[in-house]
Chains A and B, each alone.
Chain A
């Protein structure tokens, strides 16, 4: 197992290396280059020369790239143009919010998706099956920000069950230790703060869960149908195993492989979706920050964000690959 993980980690190196080259070239392709991006339209020619020197743009490309890599290795992503703070600090402040949101969405999607997909496969043609198939088609067709507005209008404004924006009620005097508001409340035993943060997560979480939910229901259903048709399941049924044992030991475990692949691939969708969801619900995570950076053309933030997200995406998929080995021991050997 250790060797398997080590080999997968080694495979990361060329991917990350290529990505670093892309990110190195990218700001050079911007209209006017990074110096104009930093200065905006207000820069005088003298300022441009100064900033070129301070950015090291007068040095040979290979030296520049070396320095770029060195900065990356130190996680120095530069300074945000709009807030004048280091990009990494900005991310660190906002990242917990995004993690809370995406994890909530993933819990909703997995928690609903796998049972729904399983039941739909077990009772093919039933109303439940048709509803799940219907949702799995419709779910990917509804623009996520539109769904967000609808949920907000219904759940927050019409029914008033849930808060419409933010991460926590500002009137609650909560102590923040980790930045994960739900966790903070548990750590400091401020249960009301934790509950309130959780309450704020419901609508954005449901919004963001819509697409992964559709995908997970679909894949689970298809995969379970396939496994149900295999001979080992028929044998297991014939020897009189109870439904629960059959489900756990013979069907779900075999059906989980494609599902876990989908879950890994959904990370990208989730992080993209977080940009839209956080904007709709004024949820102060890195997604909303990115939306703001786009409108202000804050390139260091955009660049740092892409690197950051790509890294997360690659790491999550690494975890998924490793989990294959846990689900199916045969893969570990190869």
Chain B
């Protein structure tokens, strides 16, 4: 028995080492790739702005201090000037301050919804993958049952799924995050299940089964760690789509109903009415969304390439 456990330990350690070297090598490749560096710089800058920015903004993003200077009928809104770097918005609030504070909200929506989708998707996909890979007949049945449900979720286009969730739960920030998170659940689940199934075929898993390692332990310490690579890449890419989808929900009037919290999607939706007078109100948040989405996409795509075993060495 003790010999067997020691052997199992050694196999565990070997598996760990292999995993580590894969990630280390990926990191080395990432550091040499210009798109990855650009993406990382964008993401880091954005995170810093989101964390520190709201403390440094020149004005309170909610204060309508310049309300007296705007006249909607004449289409007169103060433009960029020393006091308001990007002018004021349709309610007389400082546009620049709103943009900076909005970055934080946008990031929170993106991160929370992605984490939500990731958590649920990994749970479902992990169960399905482990069941299919290790569970024999009953496991395969459970897997096909779970995957049929996942396929059904996939059959409803993402935005519509989000719309129906948002329509049921009513308008709030939480709804937006749940809706967008739910959309990515089937993607994560499918990805993880597929990767785990591929791992279950490999020889070290057969070895672990032969050594009598309990199934849950094989799933937890062999299948899962060796399968999370593509899932993490997907999560990075999902951050980009989550931010864009949140903007789309706001555009359709299903976004965050709380006007007190500036958020890029909501700012964009508000700007629609003033497109002919002040197109820049739509352009600022849009450019913000495009840049941050590009940052996450560049980073995710570079990670995908760096982790691809076909492209290694």
Contacts and interface: CB of A to CB of B under 8 A. Distances in A.
B297 A295 contact: no
Given A271-B160, A294-B252, A314-B155, A14 B148 contact: yes
B155 A313 contact: yes
Contacts of A68: none
Interface string B235-279: 000001100100110011110000000000000100000010001
Interface stretch (B12-20, B98-106, B217-225, B286-294): B286-294
A310 B156 contact: yes
A294 B158 contact: no
A302 B247 CA distance: 20
Interface in A196-253: none
Contacts of B253: 294-295
A102 B58 CA distance: 46
Contacts of B294: 137-138, 141
A116 B213 CA distance: 51
B149 interface: yes
A22 B154 CA distance: 13
B159 interface: yes
B124 interface: no
Q: Could you say which of B167, B170, B290 has the most chain A C-beta atoms within 10 Å of its C-beta?
A: B167
A156 to B, nearest CB: 12
B191 interface: no
Interface string A25-40: 0100111000000000
A174 interface: no
B157 A313 contact: yes
A142 B297 CA distance: 12
B1 interface: no
Interface residues of B, number: 36
A291 interface: yes
A275 B152 contact: no
Nearest to A141: B293
Q: Could you say which of B151, B155, B247, B290 has the most chain A C-beta atoms within 10 Å of its C-beta?
A: B155
Contact of B167 (A14, A275, A302, A310): A302
Interface size bracket, A side: 35 or more
Contacts of A279: 251-252
Contacts of B170: 31
Contacts of B148: 14-15, 18
Nearest to A31: B170
A141 B301 CA distance: 13
A144 B152 CA distance: 25
A150 to B, nearest CB: 9
A272 B160 contact: yes
A297 B167 contact: yes
Given A140-B240, A268-B158, A294-B163, A275 B290 contact: no
Nearest to A273: B159
Given A31-B170, A299-B167, A149 B155 contact: no
B78 to A, nearest CB: 23
A289 to B, nearest CB: 12
Interface in A266-308: 267-269, 271-273, 275-276, 279, 290-291, 294-295, 297, 299, 302, 305-306
13 contacts: A29-B168, A140-B241, A140-B293, A143-B289, A268-B156, A268-B157, A272-B160, A276-B159, A276-B248, A279-B252, A294-B252, A295-B252, A310-B155
Given A140-B241, A144-B248, A309-B156, 5 more contacts: A30-B167, A149-B279, A272-B157, A290-B163, A295-B252
